[in-house]
C-alpha cells in the first residue's frame, strides 16, 4: 500500500466513531469565536458561546477558524456536550450521556484543568500507561515512586457490574511526593476506572481527608491512530495550593511520561494476548486490552487475529503536531 493511500484513509471504526470525544477545555476556549482541531483524521471546528453553549461541526469554509461564530452558518452540526469542563462531540451515534464523574460536582472540590499535551502515541497506549504503577519509581523518580520501593503489590481488577468500566481497587504504592501538597513520603492508595476506551480516572488518597480521594483523569482526543491530545482534569481536595501549582505539578508528571510514550512501539496497542512480554502486561492492562477487544475497537489498536491491511506507524504522516496549550 502506498503512503499516499494510507494518508488518505480516515477512521472507519464504528466503535470509535460512535464514542464521545473530548476536544477542548471550555474554560480555555475564547467564547464567540470559531476554533479548529483534528479528530479521527478530520478537521473539526467548535465554538463556545457567551452563554456557555457548545457547538461542533466538520470544518467548513463558511466558518473559518478565528472568525466570529454564527450558528446559522454551521453546515451540519454534530452532537456536542459540556462535561467536566470539556467540550465533547461525536461523528456517529454516541451514548445518551457520558460516563459520570461524581467528584466533579462536589462543592468543596477544586476542579483544575490540568492542561492539554500533544503526544505521538495512540490513545490506548496513553491510557495503559496511566494505569501502570510499575513505572512510577523509574519515570517519576522522587515524586510518584522511588527505589527500592518498586514492587507493585497485588490488587483487584474487575469489570463494573454492567461491563461498562474496568475497575482496579486495593492498589497501593509508596510515593515520596505524590501530590503538590504532599508533606513527605507515604503509602498512597489508588483506585482506577476506565469508563471509556480512551479515558481513565484514578483516585488516590491524599493528606487532607483520609475518607475521600483526589480524582485525576486523562481524556484522550485521537487526532489519528497514533497521535493524541491528552486532556487532563484534576478534582482535588486541596485548599492550600493554587490552581497553577496543581497544574504545574501535573504537567511535570505528564512531561515525564511523554517521551516514554513516544518511544513505545508499536504505537498502536496490540490486543493479541501474547503480543508483548508479561512484564508490561500486568493484570490491569490485560483486563483493559481484553475489554477493548471484546467491544470490537479497532482504532488505535492492533486487533487480535489478523491485520487490517494498514501499515503500522512510522510510515504515515501524522500531520501537523498538535499544539500544546
Ligand atoms: Fe506516568
State the distance from the centre of ligand 1 to the C-alpha of 198, rounded, in angstroms: 16
What average pLDDT score do residues 301-310 get? 66
pLDDT given at position 314 = 36
State the distance from the centre of ligand 1 to the C-alpha of 305, rounded, in angstroms: 30
Helix (H, G, I), strand (E, B) or coil at 200: strand
pLDDT given at position 151 = 85
pLDDT in tens, 48-86: 999 999 999 999 999 999 999 999 999 999 999 999 999
207's grid cell: 493528606
* CA–CA separation, 40 and 221 (whole Å): 8
State the distance from the centre of ligand 1 to the C-alpha of 31, rounded, in angstroms: 33
State the distance from the centre of ligand 1 to the C-alpha of 132, rounded, in angstroms: 7
State the distance from the centre of ligand 1 to the C-alpha of 188, rounded, in angstroms: 15
Average pLDDT over the chain, rounded to an integer: 88
pLDDT given at position 7 = 43
pLDDT in tens, 105-124: 999 999 999 999 999 999 99
DSSP state of 256: H
pLDDT in tens, 216-257: 999 999 999 999 999 999 999 988 889 999 999 999 999 999
Lowest-pLDDT choice from 75-79, 210-214, 281-285: 281-285
* CA–CA separation, 25 and 219 (whole Å): 11
When pLDDT is cut at 50, 70 and 90, the band that residue 277 belongs to is: low
DSSP state of 46: E
State the distance from the centre of ligand 1 to the C-alpha of 217, rounded, in angstroms: 12
Paired sense of beta strands 301-302 and 269-270, if any: parallel
State the distance from the centre of ligand 1 to the C-alpha of 140, rounded, in angstroms: 7
Domain residue limits, the chain:
20-90, 102-302
State the distance from the centre of ligand 1 to the C-alpha of 135, rounded, in angstroms: 7
pLDDT in tens, 148-171: 888 888 899 999 999 999 999 999
Give yes or no for residue 308 having a pLDDT over 80. Answer: no
Give yes or no for residue 6 having a pLDDT over 70. Answer: no
CATH code: domain 20-90 is 2.102.10.10
Give yes or no for residue 8 having a pLDDT over 70. Answer: no
State the distance from the centre of ligand 1 to the C-alpha of 96, rounded, in angstroms: 32
What average pLDDT score do residues 23-33 get? 96
30-62 burial, b for 16+ CB within 10 Å, e for fewer? eeeebbebbbbbeebbbbbeeeeebbbbebeee
State the distance from the centre of ligand 1 to the C-alpha of 148, rounded, in angstroms: 18
pTM, two decimals, is: 0.89
pLDDT in tens, 131-143: 999 899 999 999 8
Among 243, 263, 227, smallest CA distance to 110 is for 243
What average pLDDT score do residues 19-42 get? 97
State the distance from the centre of ligand 1 to the C-alpha of 102, rounded, in angstroms: 24
State the distance from the centre of ligand 1 to the C-alpha of 42, rounded, in angstroms: 29
Lowest-pLDDT choice from 25-34, 189-198, 218-227, 275-284: 275-284
State the distance from the centre of ligand 1 to the C-alpha of 30, rounded, in angstroms: 31
State the distance from the centre of ligand 1 to the C-alpha of 9, rounded, in angstroms: 32
State the distance from the centre of ligand 1 to the C-alpha of 261, rounded, in angstroms: 9
Considering only residues 45 and 283, tell me which one the structure prediction assigns the higher pLDDT.
Answer: 45
State the distance from the centre of ligand 1 to the C-alpha of 315, rounded, in angstroms: 27
State the distance from the centre of ligand 1 to the C-alpha of 260, rounded, in angstroms: 9
* CA–CA separation, 131 and 121 (whole Å): 16
What percent of the chain shows pLDDT beyond 70? 89
State the distance from the centre of ligand 1 to the C-alpha of 106, rounded, in angstroms: 27
Give the dihedral sign, CA 31/35/37/39.
positive
For residue 28, give every residue at least 6 positions away whose Cβ sits within 8 Å of its Cβ, in sequence order, or none.
113, 116, 325
**Span 102-302 CATH architecture:** Alpha-Beta Complex (3.90)
* CA–CA separation, 212 and 206 (whole Å): 8
State the distance from the centre of ligand 1 to the C-alpha of 147, rounded, in angstroms: 15
Cα distance from N-terminal residue to C-terminal residue, the chain: 35
Cis peptide before 148 (omega within 30 of 0): yes
When pLDDT is cut at 50, 70 and 90, the band that residue 306 belongs to is: low
Cα Rg of the chain, angstroms: 20
Give yes or no for residue 99 having a pLDDT over 90. Answer: yes
State the distance from the centre of ligand 1 to the C-alpha of 232, rounded, in angstroms: 13
When pLDDT is cut at 50, 70 and 90, the band that residue 274 belongs to is: confident
Amino acid at each position: 500500500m502506498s503512503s499516499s493511500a494510507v494518508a488518505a484513509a480516515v477512521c472507519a471504526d464504528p466503535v470509535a466513531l460512535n464514542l464521545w470525544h473530548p476536544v477542548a477545555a471550555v474554560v480555555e476556549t475564547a467564547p464567540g469565536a470559531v476554533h479548529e482541531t483534528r479528530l479521527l483524521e478530520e478537521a473539526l471546528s467548535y465554538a463556545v458561546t457567551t452563554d456557555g453553549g457548545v457547538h461542533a461541526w466538520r470544518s467548513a469554509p463558511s466558518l473559518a477558524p478565528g472568525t466570529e461564530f454564527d450558528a446559522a452558518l454551521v453546515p451540519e452540526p454534530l452532537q456536542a456536550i459540556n462535561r467536566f469542563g470539556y467540550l465533547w462531540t461525536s461523528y456517529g451515534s454516541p451514548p445518551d450521556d457520558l460516563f459520570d464523574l461524581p467528584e466533579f460536582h462536589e462543592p468543596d472540590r477544586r476542579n483544575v484543568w490540568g492542561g492539554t499535551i500533544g503526544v505521538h502515541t495512540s490513545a490506548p497506549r496513553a491510557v495503559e500507561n496511566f494505569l501502570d504503577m510499575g513505572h512510577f519509581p523509574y519515570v517519576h523518580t522522587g515524586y510518584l515512586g522511588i527505589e527500592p520501593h518498586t514492587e507493585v503489590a497485588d490488587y483487584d481488577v474487575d469489570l463494573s457490574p454492567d461491563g461498562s468500566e474496568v475497575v482496579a481497587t486495593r492498589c497501593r504504592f509508596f510515593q515520596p511526593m505524590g501530590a503538590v501538597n504532599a508533606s513527605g513520603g507515604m503509602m498512597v492508595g489508588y483506585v482506577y476506572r476506565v469508563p471509556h476506551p480512551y479515558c481513565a480516572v484514578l483516585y488516590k488518597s491524599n493528606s487532607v481527608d483520609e475518607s475521600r480521594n483526589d480524582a485525576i483523569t486523562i481524556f484522550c482526543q485521537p487526532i489519528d491512530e497514533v497521535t493524541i491530545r491528552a486532556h487532563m482534569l484534576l478534582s482535588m481536595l486541596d485548599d492550600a495550593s493554587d490552581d497553577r501549582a496543581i497544574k504545574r505539578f501535573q504537567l511535570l508528571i505528564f512531561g515525564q511520561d511523554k517521551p516514554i510514550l513516544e518511544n513505545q512501539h508499536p504505537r498502536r496497542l496490540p490486543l493479541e494476548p501474547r503480543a508483548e512480554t508479561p512484564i508490561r502486561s500486568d493484570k490491569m492492562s490485560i483486563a483493559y486490552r481484553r475489554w477493548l477487544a471484546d467491544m470490537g475497537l479497532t482504532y488505535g489498536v492492533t486487533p487480535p487475529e489478523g491485520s487490517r491491511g494498514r501499515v503500522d506507524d512510522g510510515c504515515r504522516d501524522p500531520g501537523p503536531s498538535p499544539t500544546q496549550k
